[in-house]
Structure 1
Amino acid sequence: MKSNFLIMRPLKNTNFCRMSSLNSNFSQSEAIKSYPIATQCFHPVRNFAFYELEKKSTLLKSFIMILLVMVSLCSCMQNKAIQGIAIKNGPEDRFFARAEKEFYSKKYDQAFILYNDYLAIYPKTPLAPAALMKIGAIYSVGNNYENARRSYKRLINEYPDSLFVPECTLNILATYYDEGRFDDVIEQAGMISDDRLYGSYIVRKHTIIGDAYLAGELPPDAVFSYSKAYRSATEIERKELILKIETAAAFLSPTEIVALYERLDNDTLKGSLLYQQGLSKFNERKYDDAKKALSILLTKYPGHEKFYSAQNLIEEINFQSQYNRYSIGCLLPISGENGIYGRKAERGIMLAVNRFTSQESITPINVILKDTESNDEKAALAVQELADENVAAMIGLGTVETIATKAQEKGIPVISLSGKENINEIGDFVFRNFLTTEMQVKKIVSYATEKLGLKRFAVLYPDEKYGITFMNTFWDEVLSYGGEIVGVESYDAHGGGDFADQIKKLAGLYYEIPEDLKKAGEMNNAITVYIKETYNLHIDARIADSIRKQVGYEKSDDKKLEDENQIGEKLDDEFTVDIEIKGVDLISGLHRIIYLNQDEISIVFSESENEEGEDAEVDEEPEAIVDFDAVFIPDGPEKVGLILPQLAFHDVKDVTLLGTNLWHSNRLIEMARQHVQGAIIPEVFFAESSFEMVREFVKTFEYAFDEKPGFIEAVAYDTAMILFELISRSDIGYRNAIKDELINMNGFWGVTGYTSFDEKGDPQKELYLLKIKGKKFLELDLN
């Protein structure tokens, strides 16, 4: 998976130079490919080597020439010629000088050949390890990592006393890093003891490990590795390590910061860690976390180089966090085309204010209402006005995209009363509290499959956005529960009231049924009737079809049983065991199993064949083939009220009717009457609920406004109450904290049930399920 973290390159000062400048000039010739020993990744030996060597008086003077070559390796990044290096004038030295000249001229093909020839001719000379290092350098530029490792390992194995061994060891780590094999970097580094290294080799080792941890999305381990490198680093190296630590710290959580803070043993690093954490949280508008980190820095590390920067950040946080913490802005379309909805929401919010402020010891809430007039420009202006008045949070209805966009820009939490898909993707300050498509479908499909045991579904939907969205969501959800969609038909959302064609297609009446399917259907029916009359057992069409197929009775033009004797022969040949039949007892209603033998099946087949012959001349209307347990119709009451009677007219009966919350209308019952009985729908608010909180809300609302509340009034009431409770808490001092609390809210019990928000700002609600009985909607007991 692609990492979300910045993949850091190793330090790029003179001690950590790389041959990236050679990449554009390198081409790997056939001659180079012919050599088996090479390396892909070159990390030149750093110029600190001469200093380290001077400290080791026990080394022989013969190594000075090797040391000078090492210095030249480091200078390769600057494309310097070989000047002032004391190379003896023997034939092997002149040979090596030729290779060096080609190398520094960036003629890597020729240099590669010469270095390999040198190794073949002079494998025991002091410059042989240097030749291997240069081979590695060339292969490094060619990104041939596997051969790079082979070359470095050869140097380590054949020249174990070489001064290049520590460098080769670390170069092997670097090749894994360059390949993106960060786990291998960490694993291999664990086998390299710091005791085998010295000086800046230790710095480089822990820096590469830190880079690998960061690229592997483990920033705490990255920071700790950088801190180990910091201990042995020079002043120049430390400055770059501080930058790396600050980069990694930006990805740390507050908990990880605390844990790392305890592990670090350097005050400079601790201060830098705290500052970077504060800066990162400030940029995320998480002012509480930012202020905590910066305050620790100011208190414990007054001499830190970031001290005054931290002071400035805290001043900025104090300025940014200035708002009227008990003020809520409401952006509603009181006038305009959506005025009816805005006025409904206003009533719910007004009731919430009255209810919340009536409690003892509650600070008065200031609600500022802005009429957006159902207009985007007015809505944008209203958001700005509320921002100028420093409201703590906002509630929005209508023109939701404009409201959400502007609120996000201002860093003001807003809860939108809208079912509009993906509105919360505008930003992390945007939430919505409404009944969504997913909510409704999940509730109704889970009940239909798990509680009712339904498996096969049909969908009849209007060919417009609402219907298409519900159809697709319903289909996916049914499949996720192991169900099956056996029929899907659409109709013109703006057409007339005739749905005969769509219903006939669902019921198998629209197209002429082939003769062989008719015969199969007749046989299935004969089996079903026989079992019902003989054993008082009900089986569905699928069981009957399974019995017919098990006994081998298939009607087709090229395979047909000609008479009763052939039926018997077929049974004798293939039907040698009883068939287990599962069904429902018509008297007790319990599941029961019976077994049919071949004699009984023979009688059923024979009688069915005889009846076919006797009735051949009778021209009958085809019967509906209803092979689904339930039909889902996502439309409003006016259309559904016309569809349901037509379903019954075309013999689509005894199926469960499933709808959306739009069915929650007395108008539907008036239109469909007996044809809508037993229908099941989801709903987020039910005024006739038995819950005491709902009953009290309805009673108070009716007293105040002389009418029953609906869904919009109820969800607006709950939304206001959620915000009122949050802004009245003494521990919440920033708008960002309000946003975080909304996401982390354990759940709010209101008149629309249980409400919480996921990390994307989408609502999570427990819906009601309502069933139509007589002229009423009844709440289903889901326990």
Structure 2
Amino acid sequence: MTSDTGSCQPSTWWKKALKGGIFLLILLDACQPMRKPPLEEVGPPRPTVIARDEFLKGKKAFQEGRWAEAVELLKRFLEQYPSTPWGEEALFMLGMGHFRLREYEDAVREFREFRSRFPRSPREWEVSFHLAKALLELGRRKEALEVAEGILPRAEEHPSQRLELLRLLAKGWREEAPLKALSFYYELWKAGQKEVRDEVLSLVDDLDADELREVAARWKGTFIGVYARLKLATLLLDEGKGDEAEALLREVEGMAKGLGFGELFESLWTRLLKPKERELKVGLLLPLSGRYAQAGREVMKGAFLAAGIFGDRHPSWRVRFFIADTSSTLKGAMRGYNRLKGEVQAIVGPLSPRGVKAVLDLRGEDDPCLFPLSSLEEGGGEGVWPLVIPVSTEVEELFLEARREGLKTFGLFYPRTPFGERVVRALQEAAWRWGGEVILYHPYREGEVDFGAFLSEMKEVGPVPDALMVAGTDYTLCLVASQLAYYDLQDVRLLGLRIVDPSKLLGLCRDYLGGAVITCPFWGDSSREEVRHFISAYREVYGEDPGYFAALGWDGVELLTLMGKKEGVEGLYLYGVTGLRAFSPDGTPIGSVFKLRIVHGHLEEIY
């Protein structure tokens, strides 16, 4: 039987309908618009953002110097946000804010908390530095100094604050440990902080004697040590201990003026010499008029300089001079001596050998000690000490120099005077003592200028010595030198004795003096330290170079101030600018002679 639905079977239709429905659903879903994900809910800002903003507000107020506002903001920030990356910086600024506001108790509290919480912070040194300052402001000196000394070893890493730290320590220790305070002041002074000088001096003013001694030893050579010595000398003078005070003043004599203590030094020295027992009454028996007036005035200038009347010299005694003019005569010397001997303790002079002899004949047992300015043929007796080195010493030194050069035979030109006779005896004694032979003597008369006959005979007949010693003036030596050259005797070595002005000698006849050796009683170009000092002092005061007679005056007063009121010269050692060093028991001067060699027209000192 046939159905109305056609030829299809029922099961096939169902399947086709199912497939079509599924396809339609897929198509409908693909045509739907894309859905957006649901929006998240927006809540209040996160805590870290708020904390950072609060911190920056406080930091800005701090940087702009609004300290009170900064303190409030930073305090609130730290209370609300105790654990943030900005806590260290905030606590630092909070402490510094209190410090700027002079709220030192609050600053100390915050600085201590910082050191506790952040011990390795790069800001720890600066925090400790300000902690010390705050504690000092609060009067808690001991705590402040403990903190300051704890950070001192690392102060070099903070040059901008190191000096302030040193000043804090200096002021902090000033009352309890003044010497410790001085050590910090000295570091400041070395660093160029010269304004601390007044603080240092006022601190030294308050030290006792033992502390002053320690300061003088510890800072020797600095302005602190020099001032300490001056203050100690003041205390010693108060106690009547003049010798100890003088020793201290001597130590700083050359430094006090340069360090700004010249006026104090001078006042102390004046005070030292004020007692009458520190006064020496000295007579100057000199030719201030007549033939030898120039020499006499030079002696006086040297004496005045040595006594400290001019210049900045400081002898151990106050010298009061009594002056008598000999008028360059024997009668003047005798008259002057008689006038002076009752007024003074010592007399320097006379200058001429004849004047010395005349005065020696007048001397009595209680007469003052005498310092003649010429050598004596024999001892002058008790209380007489010549200032001139004996000619025998010069002859021996000259002779020995020639022997060191291998010279064996000697000739001698000498004046027919007592001086010439002493030279003869001295040369003979030197030859006997040291070997060598004196084979030729020629005494000459005063004013003799032509030695041709004698030199000609010496060349033709002989003997010709290896060396020829000439005793006399520079003019006589030049005459002999030129005439030796004329007779072709240049190989004979010239030895010049007691040439007062070597420079003048070169000006007269340097071309004839090659290889000559001379002695002189004083040489201003010597490298000896005592001579250099004397030359400098003389030039500064008088504006000229000193000569031999000025040197004699200097040595005379030097010796007297060294003696003081002793009755003799035993045991004294002098660095005299004329070479004078000491005296033998019989009163004979002992000294170091100036020896010069002439090389290529120039003078060379022989040591």
TM-score (norm 2): 0.50
Matched residue of 2:395: which SS? helix
- Separation in 2, partners of 1:640, 1:632: 9
- Separation in 1, partners of 2:280, 2:417: 43
* 1:738 aligned residue: 567
Unpaired stretches in structure 1, ≥5 consecutive residues: 1-321, 512-624
* 1:326 aligned residue: 280
1:397-428 superposed Cα distances (whole Å, 9 cap, x missing partner): 23223433444443311111112422x43x30
Supply the AA of the counterpart residue of 1:419.
S
* 1:458 aligned residue: 411
Map residues 49-64 of structure 1 onto 2, 5 A cutoff. none
Match of 1:414 among 351, 359, 370: 370
Shift of 1:660: 0.7
Q: 1:671 to 1:396 in 2, by over 3 A?
A: closer
Contact 1:638–1:667 (8 Å) recurs in 2: no
* 1:662 aligned residue: 499
Matched residue of 1:689: which SS? coil
- Separation in 1, partners of 2:332, 2:444: 38
* 1:750 aligned residue: 576
* 2:452 aligned residue: 500
- Separation in 1, partners of 2:523, 2:494: 20
* 2:515 aligned residue: 678
- Separation in 1, partners of 2:426, 2:472: 14
Contact 2:415–2:472 (8 Å) recurs in 1: yes
Q: 1:343 to 1:499 in 2, by over 3 A?
A: same
Matched residue of 2:567: which SS? helix
- Separation in 1, partners of 2:556, 2:590: 13
Contact 1:357–1:363 (8 Å) recurs in 2: no
- Separation in 2, partners of 1:324, 1:679: 48
Shift of 1:667: 3.9
Match of 1:482 among 430, 435, 446: 435
- Separation in 2, partners of 1:712, 1:504: 38
Q: 1:395 to 1:626 in 2, by over 3 A?
A: same
How many residue pairs were aligned?
Answer: 329
* 1:89 aligned residue: none
Contact 2:341–2:367 (8 Å) recurs in 1: no
1:564-621 superposed Cα distances (whole Å, 9 cap, x missing partner): xxxxxxxxxxxxxxxxxxxxxxxxxxxxxxxxxxxxxxxxxxxxxxxxxxxxxxxxxx
Match of 1:431 among 372, 377, 385: 385
- Separation in 1, partners of 2:572, 2:291: 37
Q: 1:680 to 1:719 in 2, by over 3 A?
A: same
Map residues 7-406 of structure 1 onto 2, 5 A cutoff. 326-354=280-308, 358=312, 362-389=316-343, 391-398=344-351, 399-406=355-362
Q: 1:381 to 1:689 in 2, by over 3 A?
A: same
Q: 1:405 to 1:465 in 2, by over 3 A?
A: closer
- Separation in 1, partners of 2:476, 2:445: 11
* 1:305 aligned residue: none
- Separation in 2, partners of 1:406, 1:435: 24
Q: 1:408 to 1:679 in 2, by over 3 A?
A: farther
- The one of the two structures with greater contact order (alpha-carbon pairs below 8 A, sep at least 6) is 1
Contact 1:488–1:506 (8 Å) recurs in 2: no
Q: 1:647 to 1:708 in 2, by over 3 A?
A: same
Higher Cα Rg, which structure: 2
- Separation in 2, partners of 1:745, 1:505: 52
Q: 1:323 to 1:632 in 2, by over 3 A?
A: same
Matched, 1:772 2:598: yes
Shift of 1:331: 1.3
Q: 1:494 to 1:464 in 2, by over 3 A?
A: farther
Shift of 1:324: 8.7
Shift of 1:463: 3.9
- Separation in 2, partners of 1:361, 1:638: 39
* 2:589 aligned residue: 763
1:454-477 superposed Cα distances (whole Å, 9 cap, x missing partner): 211122334444434323421332
Shift of 1:680: 0.6
- Separation in 1, partners of 2:554, 2:500: 23
Matched residue of 1:337: which SS? coil
Shift of 1:438: 0.8
Shift of 1:347: 0.8
RMSD: 2.7
Contact 1:370–1:382 (8 Å) recurs in 2: yes
Contact 1:356–1:721 (8 Å) recurs in 2: no
- Separation in 2, partners of 1:665, 1:471: 23
Contact 2:326–2:332 (8 Å) recurs in 1: yes
Supply the AA of the counterpart residue of 2:447.
H
Contact 1:404–1:414 (8 Å) recurs in 2: no
* 1:712 aligned residue: 549
Matched residue of 1:628: which SS? coil
Q: 1:363 to 1:493 in 2, by over 3 A?
A: closer
- Runs ≥4 residues deviating over 6 A: none
* 2:535 aligned residue: 698
Contact 1:444–1:769 (8 Å) recurs in 2: yes
- Separation in 2, partners of 1:722, 1:456: 39
Q: 1:358 to 1:745 in 2, by over 3 A?
A: farther
* 2:398 aligned residue: 444
1:372-392 superposed Cα distances (whole Å, 9 cap, x missing partner): 223444434433433433x22
Q: 1:418 to 1:461 in 2, by over 3 A?
A: closer
Matched, 1:643 2:480: yes
1:121-149 superposed Cα distances (whole Å, 9 cap, x missing partner): xxxxxxxxxxxxxxxxxxxxxxxxxxxxx
- Separation in 2, partners of 1:363, 1:371: 24
Shift of 1:653: 2.5
Q: 1:356 to 1:693 in 2, by over 3 A?
A: farther
- Separation in 2, partners of 1:472, 1:371: 34
Contact 1:433–1:762 (8 Å) recurs in 2: no
- Separation in 2, partners of 1:361, 1:465: 37
Contact 2:500–2:521 (8 Å) recurs in 1: no
Shift of 1:340: 2.0
Matched residue of 2:595: which SS? strand
1:488-519 superposed Cα distances (whole Å, 9 cap, x missing partner): 23344333x43221112222x1x5xxxxxxxx
Matched residue of 1:653: which SS? coil
- Separation in 1, partners of 2:322, 2:592: 30
Matched residue of 1:709: which SS? coil
1:181-213 superposed Cα distances (whole Å, 9 cap, x missing partner): xxxxxxxxxxxxxxxxxxxxxxxxxxxxxxxxx
Q: 1:704 to 1:490 in 2, by over 3 A?
A: same
Q: 1:468 to 1:380 in 2, by over 3 A?
A: closer
* 2:11 aligned residue: none
How many percent of aligned residue pairs carry the same amino acid? 25
* 2:245 aligned residue: none
Q: 1:323 to 1:384 in 2, by over 3 A?
A: farther
- Separation in 1, partners of 2:576, 2:310: 13
1:621-645 superposed Cα distances (whole Å, 9 cap, x missing partner): xxxx664221111122222222212
1:194-239 superposed Cα distances (whole Å, 9 cap, x missing partner): xxxxxxxxxxxxxxxxxxxxxxxxxxxxxxxxxxxxxxxxxxxxxx
Contact 1:682–1:770 (8 Å) recurs in 2: yes
Q: 1:641 to 1:684 in 2, by over 3 A?
A: closer
